[in-house]
Amino acid sequence: MEHIGAHIDREKKRGKQTERGELLRFFCEKLNRTRPHDGLPMITLPRMGRLVEKIPTKDLYYLKSICDDSASRGGIVAFSKRFWWEINPKKHEPKKEPARRQAGGESFLTKPKYKKTFGSATRAPRPPRPKPLAKRVSKRDLHNLY
C-alpha cells in the first residue's frame, strides 16, 4: 500500500529566488574576489542580508549601478571601496550648520571689545609688559671685554 501523497500531484516547490536574493548574491561574488587577498573572511549571504536589510530593493539596483560604474573606471577594488562607502550611513548625514545667535545672546564673537562706562567707550586695560631680563649688549661692548 502506498501513501496517499504519492498519488497527489503537487506543484514543484518554487525556488526561493528573488530579485533581492540575486542582488545579494551579486554583491557577495564581487566583494569576495578581493577579500582573501586582503586577509579578510568571505562575506556570506546571511551577513550580506544583514548589511543591507534596511536598504530597499530599488536602492540596491542604484547601488549596483554606481558600484559597476566605479568598477569600470577603477577596477574591482574601486567596486568594493564604493560599496562600503555608500552603505555607511555616517557618510550621508547632512552637515551640521553652526547654531544661529538668538537676539539678546552674547557669544565670544559678539562680545564688545570696549567697556562702556558712563556713556563713553574706553578700551580695557592691557596687562603690563614683562621687563627684559638683561640689558642689550652690542658687538662693540663684547669686543671691549676681550
Q: Is the model's pLDDT at 11 over the cut of 70?
A: no
Is the predicted pLDDT of residue 6 greater than 60, yes or no?
yes
Q: What is the pLDDT of residues 88-118, one digit of tens each?
A: 888 777 777 766 655 555 555 555 555 555 5
68 assigned to some structural domain: yes
Specify if 48 maps to a domain: yes
Domain holding 76, by residue range, is 17-90
In a domain, 110, yes or no: no
Q: Is residue 119 part of a domain?
A: no
Look at residue 131 in the predicted model and tell me its pLDDT. 72
pLDDT at 71: 87
Whether the CB-CB separation of 111 and 118 falls below 8 Å is answered with no
Q: Is the pTM of this model over 0.85?
A: no
Cβ neighbour number for residue 66 with a 10 Å cutoff: 13
Residue 96, domain member (yes or no): no
Residues 72, 50: Cα–Cα separation, whole Å: 27
Residue 77 lies in a domain: yes
Write down the pLDDT at residue 90: 81
In a domain, 24, yes or no: yes
pLDDT confidence of residue 127: 79
Q: How many domains does the chain have?
A: 1
Average of per-residue pLDDT values in the chain: 78
Instruction: Please state, in angstroms and rounded to a whole number, the distance separating the CA atoms of residues 84 and 51.
Output: 10
Give the per-residue pLDDT at 46.
Answer: 93
Angle between helices 19-32 and 57-74 (to 10 degrees): 30
| pLDDT digit string, tens, across residues 17-70 | 788 999 999 999 999 998 888 889 999 999 999 999 989 999 999 999 999 998
